[in-house]
Amino acid sequence: MFRHIFDRQLHWVFGRILIALLMSPPLGAQSPALPIKYSGPPTKAEITSGDLMTRLYQFADDSMQGRLYSTTFARKATDYVEREVGRLGLLPLGENGTFYQTVPVVIRALDPASTITVGRRQFRAGKDFAAEAATRRFTQLHGVRPQYLGLIYDTSRVPSVEQLAGKVVLVREAFRLPEDRNRQGGFRVAATLPGWNRALAAAAQVIRIVGDSLVPDYRGFGAMQPRGPEYLADEEGLLGLRITTRLAEAILGGSLNDDPAPIGGNALTTNIQFVDRKLDVARNVIAMVPGQSGSNGEYVVLSAHSDHLGLSLSREEHNAAKARSLFFFRMEQDSAFPKSPADRAGVLAGLVDSLRLLHGGARVDSVYNGADDDASGAVALLEIAESLASARVPPKRSVLFIWHTGEESGLIGSRYFTENPTVPLDSIVAVINLDRVGHGSVDDPASVDSSGRIFPGGPGYLQLLGARRLSGELGDAFDRVNSALHLGFNFDLSEDAPGHPQQVYCRSDHASYARFGIPSVLLTTGGNIDYHSVTDEPQYIDYTHLAAITRLVTATSLEIANLDHRIHVTMPKPNPKSACVQ
């Protein structure tokens, strides 16, 4: 007993040392020891880290409930943006003289009378399973025995396309229990994602086991938000199924474990139906700082997305989740990291204790706050808008600010705007899109190369994607401003490489504009340990670095707006109906 206590004390001390190493910022960076809650002073015209902090803590607060697209909480986020741009004196360029553009949404809600039958046992919607469907017609399962694959994204094995093609497969959802992180080897998961996703895409049906109980989403247990012709098309689609451990064990005919099993167990039959309804809560926010007269009605567009992922389908202790992310990333990067399982377990335990001490104790968390993704970009746009709106001399061209909705659900808001623009598309000379610009330190896994190796950020880290794909002039403008203002940014272009497996170029809103031949660039500080996690909260944002990026974008947008010519498009324009190509 005393030895256990002594070991625990040593592990706690080791953990305190480790957290200091893991969380100590590079020279001149924002201290990470920030409060969980914060209410700052009113913002001013000057771009400052304090202003950004004031805004971001409001925009990514728990009260926003993760800003899930097409919910009242996403609407609450756009209400905040609308109030701010109105207060700053920007001009509305949405619909009917407002700042809003309503994006049509069709919700498919799961009928609570739906059932799944396994043998003689019947399981109920909402209690034992949740379901989604993206089309009018979908494939019901009749007498099917799924193939169990164990833990999804397990780095020790990656199924092939041939193994899963046309099959119904059953997987245990990742990161439900602490040991999942150990099994998956931390950020090695990034290297296995493409292979796993290709194989799962070849399956006829993927059923996910989410734990002992379901966590309801905003609309009950399962809904999709498709819109327009894609949904109305009468084509065969798939069900998206989430099931409990109880239902999974009935299918497998035994206790659940992580070892893949051959096809066997008990057959299942689905009787699942949905109820459709239309919503009008999804909105883009569109505002303008007008240019000088004689600007020929041309615009430089600055964009970000206002939505995020909503609530997690599982609840976890926040500090433990943060500790695991820090732990595994450092383990991947540090060759001197403890090797034995016992020592590693001690370090992780100490790190959890240290974070709980730092943050005032344990707390259960299920909110995807999206502080970096993309509250960082959204508030940077507000900061730029306040700066430009208070300038004595307006730019030659107008600057159009667009906060898109539905980026996380498939670039829905930006696609809708480009198909239903409130200004002529050919009047847009360039698009600068900010998505995840709040990290980038040496403690963040900022980029992944084509072989799956992960590289950290560092001082001045910033990725540019697409800056020279349609016109070299857009990239040149960033280079000139960075040099002239001595901002010290180190632009990482690695993930902009054609065919890069991470497909980052096609995953944010700038891609909706680039498909129409508009020079468009994505600015991002890349991946980080909080990406799409409940730990993506305001206290982990590097506000000093965010302020520097905001100044870079402000100056570059002015440079483009004041050019005596439009940016020349030197590459062939894509077919806007074709899929994006990395």
Residue 225 lies in a domain: yes
Residue 36 lies in a domain: no
Residue 480 lies in a domain: yes
Q: How many CB atoms lie within 10 A of CB 484?
A: 10
Tens place of pLDDT per residue across the chain (582 aa): 323 333 333 333 444 444 444 444 332 333 447 999 999 999 999 999 999 999 999 999 999 999 998 889 999 999 999 999 999 999 999 999 999 999 988 777 788 899 999 999 999 998 999 888 766 778 899 999 999 998 888 877 889 999 999 999 999 886 544 444 444 444 455 556 678 888 998 999 999 998 888 866 544 544 444 444 455 455 666 778 899 999 999 999 988 876 776 667 899 999 998 887 777 779 999 999 999 976 679 999 999 999 999 988 677 899 998 998 888 888 878 888 888 888 888 888 899 999 999 888 999 999 999 999 999 999 999 999 999 999 999 999 999 999 999 999 889 999 999 999 999 999 999 999 999 999 999 888 899 887 778 889 999 999 999 999 999 999 999 999 999 999 999 999 999 999 998 899 999 999 999 999 999 999 999 989 899 999 999 999 999 999 999 999 999 999 999 999 999 999 998 999 888 999
Residues 181 and 219 in one domain: yes
Residue 41 lies in a domain: no
**DSSP string over 19-76:** HHHHHPPPTTPPPS---SS---PPP-SS--HHHHHHHHHHHTSGGGTT-BTTSHHHHH
Residue 34 lies in a domain: no
Residues 131 and 53 in one domain: no
Residues 83 and 147 in one domain: no
Residue 572 lies in a domain: no
Using an 8 Å Cβ cutoff, are 505 and 522 in contact? Answer: yes
Q: Which residue range is the domain that position 350 belongs to?
A: 2-21+318-360
Residue with tokens 């206790």: 255
Residues 434 and 505 in one domain: yes
Residues 388 and 292 in one domain: yes
d(C-alpha 57, C-alpha 300), whole Å = 28
- Provide the 8-state DSSP code for 347: H
Q: CATH number of the domain that 466 lies in? A: 3.40.630.10
- Provide the 8-state DSSP code for 141: -
Residues 17 and 113 in one domain: no
Residue type, 175: F
Total count of domains within the chain = 3
Residues 170 and 255 in one domain: yes
Residues 128 and 274 in one domain: yes
Residue with tokens 């890349």: 526
Tokens found for residue 249: 């064990």
Task: State how beta strands 236-237 and 137-138 pair.
Answer: parallel
Residue 247 lies in a domain: yes
Residues 513 and 377 in one domain: yes
The contacts of residue 449 (CB under 8 Å, 6+ apart) are 455, 494
Residues 406 and 490 in one domain: yes
Residue 453 lies in a domain: yes
Please give the helix or strand (H or E) that residue 544 lies within, else none: helix 543-561
Residues 289 and 418 in one domain: yes
d(C-alpha 419, C-alpha 422), whole Å = 10
- Please return the burial class of 511, using the count of CB atoms within 10 Å of its CB with bins 0-12, 13-18 and 19+: buried
Residues 334 and 253 in one domain: no
Cα dist. 62→367, 374, 534 in Å? 7, 15, 10
